[in-house]
Structure 1
Amino acid sequence: MHYQISVTDPASHFLSITYTIPDINADLIEIQLPAWRPGRYEIQNFAKNIQFIEAISISGDKLPLRKITKDRWEVKTNSEETVQIRYSFFAAIQNAGSSYVDEELWYLNFINFCFYTEGRINDQCSVSLALPETFEIACGLESSGRHQLVAKDFYQLVDSPLLASETLQKSDYIVRGVQFHIWMHGNLKPNWKRIQRDFRRFSREQIATMEEFPEQDYHFLNLILPNAFYHGVEHHNSTMIVLGPDDEGEGLYTDLLGVSSHELFHAWNIIRIRPVELLPYDFTKENYFETCFVAEGCTTYYGDLFLRRAGVFDDEAYVKELQVYMKRHFENNALASQSLAESSFDLWLDGYEKGIPHRKVSVYHKGALVALILDLYLRKKSNHESSLDTVMQVLWQHFGKPFIGYTVEDYKNVVEEIAGEKLDWYWKECIFTNEPLETRLNEALAFVGLQMTIFSNGNIQLNVQDDFRAKVQRDKWLETRQVLSEEEEEE
């Protein structure tokens, strides 16, 4: 399968695409444009951005093309062994899951506009980009030539976003033999020494915790906008991050650290440690699953925790971030009728909208809080011998590394095996009902000398208690697994 992509008029924001399908031995074939993208569990109907489409033979003869669903077409091959689909796609949105082209930048998420042929989703895919000669490409895919890329199959292709421009800025670092690339596009002058130091720290901490990294290289693709923005999406061996405004200074840098640490942990949790309902992805419809509290909740919890354990955040900064999760849950969703599992399932319905009052909870914020409760419970019970780290390590070894999907029962079994007991209270109160979290959360926090207070006006405050014994436990909870050498600190 080959995709040839060009932009005739950059100001129009239209991509011109030719999708070549070789080795056909059928009278009819069906081509499918994905209805959604990994990392965003809602139907997005990318086909609405197709302006023009036709099917032709290699010699240029038109072939019968019939639309059979909103994003699926049937092609009559007329005995042709190779068919080309030519179409135009409007690429004018800048978020972490979209595509955008103009005179200075090509930002492509192939999931938005690349078709696959029914029955051949596992075929190798190649891409040719008619870029300006001076443009450099930032992408996790392997290069097969100047402005040419190759993917082992459609799944890898559409899980590999791309930035291309002549003004890309880049810095690299290596941790445990893994090559990391940080790419920036936007109106900014990165402090690469500081960025490298902090990124190396949290990368080392994550790899030390999980004991290995799933890939040989990894790309942080950053698009920095002049307007306020915060969005990141996980991918196969990369993440696409869109932030702004570009003049925010320290606030922008804190956002960069938080979203980058979060997205890096997704390299294990969801990219490889994946719910069975999402393995493999079915791009034609909703892929319902109840365990987004693991995929996103645990990842949200770990994103900032790794920054603290790595020494990028201090205690004050970390407590501030914890308080944010608490405020967002208790001030917005504490009275919701749904459980975490129900809200995970309903992501496909309205998970990314405000929704009606008191209906759903956030799999990110409540998910992070119940991850914290579980982590501190396991640590207290075992004197820090086991923790949520242990849970994630077992999930990686049993499900992520062999790439076998896990069920909600699998997750429960792993947690209870590590706990050495049934945790009916946890599943009932934290996951499968809408019971209030306040009591359980403060019980967990007390172990490490923290206390959450909900005031009569609904405001939330997280305080550090003056308790030496609890501080000892807090230090163990937040202690690093890896320390940079003096030489690495100076790099």
Structure 2
Amino acid sequence: MQKLAALLFLASSLTLARPAAAQAPVAYQVAFPNAVHHEARITATFRELPAGPLQVRMARSSPGRYALHEFAKNVYDVQATDSKGKALPVMHPDPYGWDVPGHDGTVVFTYTLFGDRTDGTYAGIDARHAHLNMPATLAYAPALAQRPAQVQFALPARWTVASQLQPDATGTTWQAPNLQYLMDSPTSLGEQQVRTWQEGGRTIELKVLHDGTEAELDAYTANTKKVVKEAAAIFGGLPEYDFGRYTFVANYLPQTSGDGMEHRNSTSLTSRRPLRGPEAIDNLGTVAHEFFHSWNVERLRPQDLEPFDFQRANMSSNLWFAEGFTQYYGELLLRRAGVYTDEQYCQEALTGIVQAMLNSPGPKRYSPVEMSQQAPFVDAAAAIDPNNRTNTYLSYYYIGAANALALDLELRQRYRTDLDTYMRTLWQQHGAQQNYAPAKPYTLRDLQRVLGEVTRDTAFAGQFFRQHITGHELPKYDELLAPAGLLVRRAHPGQATLGARLQFNPADSSATLGTTLLGSPLYLAGLDREDVLLKLDGQKLTGNTQVQKLLATHKPGDVLQVQVRARDGQRTVPVTLQESTDLEVVLNDKATRKQLAFRKAWLSGKAK
């Protein structure tokens, strides 16, 4: 026994002395013997282990998501053996993982995974496909995080693999250099339809599961190519993808949940919308947003997200830039690629950004940095208690996009430069250098510094960040958009409104309130969530059309008597109607040549 113990100790010492990349890779086998019931059977083999219990964990969070998701809840039938097949004890010290003692340097860890949500966060498995987000799928050993990993998929007939993982020469084993890369590699299995092309010396793959026609996919691919070209034009070329290719991992089957999730050399695209008609444009918007992420957030990455921690919620102060500026560019790319006209760009992009920024209470009280820090509570986070985010929060996507729009226009008007130049300069300083991870992630101070360099005006950069990024001063969009021949105006001038969305109750012709908007007529009247409107101006509430007809007979400033059942009893309260605050951005049909030239320089395609 002493000789055996000495040999095991020596083997462990030699293993630890070798670089992680030279140690035995973690090997996974993923099979689907019960796919019709949404199960996978997964085996993870850990070899060349040091003495002592092996800790195995399921991730609690996932790259690109910032809340906790507790993926261990869908793992069961856990077993472990050593290299000879001897059963090993499996301890369960916490909700997220297992400890395996008594091994002989090898642990074969096997479990069943349930997954029936096809999106960028979870795992979706059925008889037709498997869409796997790796943190939701693969158990891992934290102590072996620097080792390479290998994955073999037991594929049903006609299924193929879509993944940024690197296939071996036989195409049967898919490899990652380390745990961070493995967990960042979504994988879709099924009867893929594939479109591949070369762009800037890189291979771009569009691997799709969908029920449409070949012609629909061809048209969708043509627009995707335009988006790729326009995105590359902003940065002066495509990134150096780690294995020379970028993969759109796309699932547009009916059982799919809408989502888009960026990854280092790929993106997970999921939607039940088809690749035809107006819905194809909605899908293409996700393509544009997620592809822009292959620069912004994947390589041009905030320091407070690097490296990603799979065992906790990951908070960043920079999502207003990482997601918000990407939101701005995602829509702008559709215009530059010719998918939108100028008028459509105003309707589909600018109106939403400006409306949200100027009419939501949140931006008036909290900064983009503070909105970013809320991500662990709002980014697909689950909770059952009510909140007041209607009055305190605006998504970092929108508040960031709104500030990107304002900054782009200000740079063009005051400094004869643009946001493209700012992004390109940041890329050169903080994104271009990589080794499976960014070599120089940025801080908030870096973002301000580079703005000062691009404008050659550090005072302006400091003021912009104080007022709009760490502060909450609202941009003056009417002034900023005017040089482009665009108008910001009331969408429904003179129209009276209650400023609330009502949930109608057909059983008794009443309506239940959600959280009332700060400053709205019902808020000022002292009404709040779960209060029930019984009568409005003496009339029962039968539906939205009836309420709008009633309001159309009144003007802003009129006082209506509202019978309500609230927590403190039933009463009648006076409610003063307000003018609709809805805004829209439209083309100025009297735009000058100078304004049209400004708009063209901003919105026209840049790809050659």
Q: Deviations over 1:289-341 (max 9, x none)?
A: 10001100110000111222232322122112221233344454556632211
SS in 2 for 1:62: coil
Post-superposition offset of 1:229: 5.0
**Structure 1 counterpart of 2:422:** 391
Query: Structure 1 residues 316, 110: closer, same or farther in 2, change over 3 A?
Result: same
Name the CA distance, whole Å, in 2 between partners of 1:72 and 1:445: 54
Q: Which moved more, 1:3-12 or 1:419-428?
A: 419-428
Tell me, yes or no, if structure 1 residue 90 matches structure 2 residue 123.
no
SS in 2 for 1:368: helix
Q: Deviations over 1:200-253 (max 9, x none)?
A: 22211111221122212111122113379532111121111112233x831221
SS in 2 for 1:119: helix
- Equivalent of residue 118 in structure 1, options 142, 161, 177: 142
Tell me, yes or no, if structure 1 residue 105 matches structure 2 residue 129.
yes
- Equivalent of residue 471 in structure 2, options 425, 428, 433: 433
The equivalences for 1:247-396 within 5 A come to: 249-320=276-347, 321-333=349-361, 337-352=365-380, 355-356=387-388, 357-383=390-416, 386-396=417-427
Post-superposition offset of 1:93: 0.9
Name the CA distance, whole Å, in 2 between partners of 1:212 and 1:128: 34
Amino acid paired to 1:89: L
Post-superposition offset of 1:41: 1.0
**Structure 2 counterpart of 1:467:** 591
Contact kept in structure 2, 1:336 and 1:361, CA below 8 Å: no
SS in 1 for 2:237: coil
Which of structure 1's runs of 4+ aligned residues deviate more than 6 A? none
Query: Structure 1 residues 478, 283: closer, same or farther in 2, change over 3 A?
Result: same
Query: Structure 1 residues 227, 355: closer, same or farther in 2, change over 3 A?
Result: farther
**Structure 2 counterpart of 1:409:** 445
Query: Structure 1 residues 56, 433: closer, same or farther in 2, change over 3 A?
Result: same
Contact kept in structure 1, 2:256 and 2:270, CA below 8 Å: no
Name the CA distance, whole Å, in 2 between partners of 1:418 and 1:48: 49
Alignment RMSD (CA, Å): 2.0
Name the CA distance, whole Å, in 2 between partners of 1:189 and 1:451: 41
SS in 2 for 1:7: strand
Tell me, yes or no, if structure 1 residue 450 matches structure 2 residue 481.
no
Contact kept in structure 1, 2:118 and 2:257, CA below 8 Å: no
SS in 2 for 1:52: strand
Query: Structure 1 residues 108, 292: closer, same or farther in 2, change over 3 A?
Result: same
Contact kept in structure 1, 2:202 and 2:245, CA below 8 Å: yes
Amino acid paired to 1:221: V
Q: Which has the larger radius of gyration?
A: 2
Q: Which moved more, 1:150-159 or 1:354-363?
A: 354-363
Q: Deviations over 1:65-115 (max 9, x none)?
A: 222332132221x25111111111111112222211111112111121212
- Equivalent of residue 602 in structure 2, options 469, 477, 487: 477
Name the CA distance, whole Å, in 1 between partners of 2:93 and 2:360: 42
Q: Which runs of 5+ in 2 are unaligned?
A: 1-25, 494-578
Query: Structure 1 residues 329, 53: closer, same or farther in 2, change over 3 A?
Result: farther
Query: Structure 1 residues 117, 193: closer, same or farther in 2, change over 3 A?
Result: closer
- Equivalent of residue 128 in structure 1, options 114, 135, 152: 152
Q: Which moved more, 1:22-31 or 1:329-338?
A: 329-338
% of aligned pairs identical? Answer: 27
Name the CA distance, whole Å, in 2 between partners of 1:196 and 1:143: 24
Contact kept in structure 2, 1:301 and 1:368, CA below 8 Å: yes
SS in 2 for 1:364: helix
Post-superposition offset of 1:388: 1.3
Contact kept in structure 1, 2:487 and 2:587, CA below 8 Å: yes
Tell me, yes or no, if structure 1 residue 184 matches structure 2 residue 220.
no
Q: Which moved more, 1:26-35 or 1:404-413?
A: 26-35
Contact kept in structure 1, 2:354 and 2:477, CA below 8 Å: no
Tell me, yes or no, if structure 1 residue 210 matches structure 2 residue 235.
yes
**Structure 2 counterpart of 1:489:** none
SS in 2 for 1:39: coil
Tell me, yes or no, if structure 1 residue 150 matches structure 2 residue 183.
no
- Equivalent of residue 269 in structure 2, options 231, 241, 263: 241
Query: Structure 1 residues 4, 193: closer, same or farther in 2, change over 3 A?
Result: closer
Query: Structure 1 residues 130, 333: closer, same or farther in 2, change over 3 A?
Result: farther
Name the CA distance, whole Å, in 2 between partners of 1:249 and 1:142: 32
Post-superposition offset of 1:447: 2.6
Name the CA distance, whole Å, in 2 between partners of 1:412 and 1:352: 30
Amino acid paired to 1:470: Q
Query: Structure 1 residues 160, 335: closer, same or farther in 2, change over 3 A?
Result: closer
Amino acid paired to 1:74: D
Name the CA distance, whole Å, in 1 between partners of 2:159 and 2:328: 38
SS in 1 for 2:76: strand
TM-score of the superposed pair, with normalisation by structure 2: 0.75
Q: Which runs of 5+ in 1 are unaligned?
A: 484-491
Contact kept in structure 1, 2:88 and 2:100, CA below 8 Å: yes
Q: Which moved more, 1:444-453 or 1:469-478?
A: 444-453
Amino acid paired to 1:265: F
Contact kept in structure 1, 2:67 and 2:314, CA below 8 Å: no
Contact kept in structure 2, 1:98 and 1:109, CA below 8 Å: yes
Name the CA distance, whole Å, in 2 between partners of 1:115 and 1:336: 43
Name the CA distance, whole Å, in 2 between partners of 1:98 and 1:232: 12
Query: Structure 1 residues 107, 229: closer, same or farther in 2, change over 3 A?
Result: closer
Q: Which moved more, 1:88-97 or 1:137-146?
A: 137-146
- Equivalent of residue 221 in structure 2, options 176, 196, 210: 196
Q: Deviations over 1:107-145 (max 9, x none)?
A: 111121212212321210000111114211111211123
Contact kept in structure 2, 1:50 and 1:88, CA below 8 Å: yes
Contact kept in structure 2, 1:369 and 1:441, CA below 8 Å: no
Tell me, yes or no, if structure 1 residue 2 matches structure 2 residue 27.
yes
SS in 2 for 1:232: strand
Amino acid paired to 2:321: V
SS in 2 for 1:20: strand
Name the CA distance, whole Å, in 1 between partners of 2:122 and 2:328: 26
Query: Structure 1 residues 183, 337: closer, same or farther in 2, change over 3 A?
Result: same
Name the CA distance, whole Å, in 1 between partners of 2:259 and 2:477: 28
Q: Deviations over 1:167-205 (max 9, x none)?
A: x21212221122111122122114244223322222111
Contact kept in structure 2, 1:297 and 1:371, CA below 8 Å: yes
Name the CA distance, whole Å, in 2 between partners of 1:337 and 1:260: 33
SS in 1 for 2:392: coil
